[in-house]
Amino acid sequence: MKGLKLVSLTLLAMVMVLVVHAEPSFAQESASSGGFNPQEILRNALQWIDSLGPIGAIAFIAIYIIAAVAFLPGSILTLGAGVVFGVFLGSIYVFIGATIGATAAFLVGRYLARDWIAQKIAGNDKFSAIDEAVGQEGLKIVFLTRLSPVFPFNLLNYAYGLTGVSLKDYVLGSFGMIPGTLMYVYIGSLAGDLATLGSGDAPTNPTVQWAIRIIGFIATVAITLFITNLAKKALDKRVSKETV
């Protein structure tokens, strides 16, 4: 259990550093210095979407789904939704696109890699016990990790496919994205110009920034403690069965 405590303390230390020093970017994911630049590609896609009129919403959702599956930075699309559609509609379109894209990635991870992972951990009682426990509390875990900015969105989508979390709990847990979605779409709406997105020049609201950080910090502490406790109970249960 010392190892679990060490992991918890390490994660909490990382969160403290992020809260104090990191810019709130869903937001400011680094772009390539040259060659393939996903931020620039998505920014151009947003400008194209803006020119489509009423059907732009459909195109936006489709591109968000592709970005989630292809590991492209959805932060630019989230911010851009505020510019193109406004806070209300932008938040709705982002949530729909992110949820469908995340579910598609989850299914890819589950059906293309889950069996292989299961074979690898088949002889490891600790891994299988934790996997089983996570599956039982999937909704809470997914919801809390969606609230926290520390857990990378795209990678997490695939990772959950490798756990015992049910599809139903995974989708329902996506509602944890709503607070962050609303806040970042709002920040994007302040920019008023797609060209400034991701450049660091867009206007921001300090109150919103700190709200994001506080919510993220609380969610990260909660999920760290919850999973640590869950893993301990699962391992203790497994050990007690083996000693009977």
Q: What is the DSSP string of 146-190?
A: HH-TTS-HHHHHHHHHTSS--HHHHHHHGGGGHHHHHHHHHHHHH
3-state secondary structure (DSSP) of residue 28: coil
User: Which range among 1-15, 35-49, 182-196, 206-220 shows the weakest confidence by mean pLDDT?
Assistant: 1-15
pLDDT band at 31 (very low <50, low <70, confident <90, very high): very low
| pLDDT (tens digit per residue) in 92-102 | 999 999 999 99
Q: What integer pLDDT is reported at residue 175 of this predicted model?
A: 92
* Mean pLDDT calculated for residue range 222-231: 68
**CA 185 – CA 76 distance, rounded (Å):** 10
Amino acid identity of residue 241, one-letter, is K
Report pLDDT for 22: 38
Dump pLDDT digits (tens) for 162-187. Answer: 888 899 999 999 998 998 898 889 88
Q: With contact defined as beta carbons under 8 Å apart, do 153 and 74 qualify?
A: yes
Those residues whose C-beta lies under 8 Å from the C-beta of residue 119, and which sit 6 or more positions away, are none
Q: Is 50 exceeded by the pLDDT of residue 33?
A: no
What pLDDT score does 168 carry?
94
Q: The pTM is what? A: 0.71
* Cα–Cα distance measured from residue 232 to residue 244, given in angstroms and rounded to the nearest whole number: 18
Find out whether 78 and 183 touch, Cβ atoms under 8 Å.
Answer: no
